[in-house]
Amino acid sequence: LTIVFAGDGAPPGNYGYTSSGYSVYEEENDRLTESLRTKVSAIKSLSIEIGTEVKNQNKMLSEMENDFDSAGGLLGATMGRLRTLSRGSQTKLLCYMMLFSLFVFFVIYWIIKLR
């Protein structure tokens, strides 16, 4: 049995363990390392895509918030006008509704009469 040292002409990297099966373990480790590297790079690209999607979703939510704020302001102004209208005289409001109803009635009567 002769042990070959790395300096005695053995190929670099196996350190004289050519017959002990050490190179099989080293090849297995290299294969597993490459597999791990592939998985890590896939996870990295996936996390970058998730980050991009989160930024887009945050931008959309901000735009929706602005739209809801403007719609809320418009609704608030409309409700204020309705309150002002309801505070007015009930008799005045009833008179306007009666006049409008009579106007609509005469328009419909006129359209039917012309046929």
* Per-residue pLDDT reduced to its tens digit, 46-62: 999 999 999 999 999 99
Structure tokens, 23: 């190179």
Structure tokens, 5: 């040292």
**pTM greater than 0.85 (yes/no):** no
Unique residue bearing structure tokens 């005469």: 106
pLDDT higher than 60, residue 8:
no
Question: CA-to-CA distance for 69 and 62, rounded, in angstroms?
Answer: 11
Helices assigned H by DSSP within the chain: 22-87, 90-114
- Tell me the chain's radius of gyration from C-alpha atoms: 42
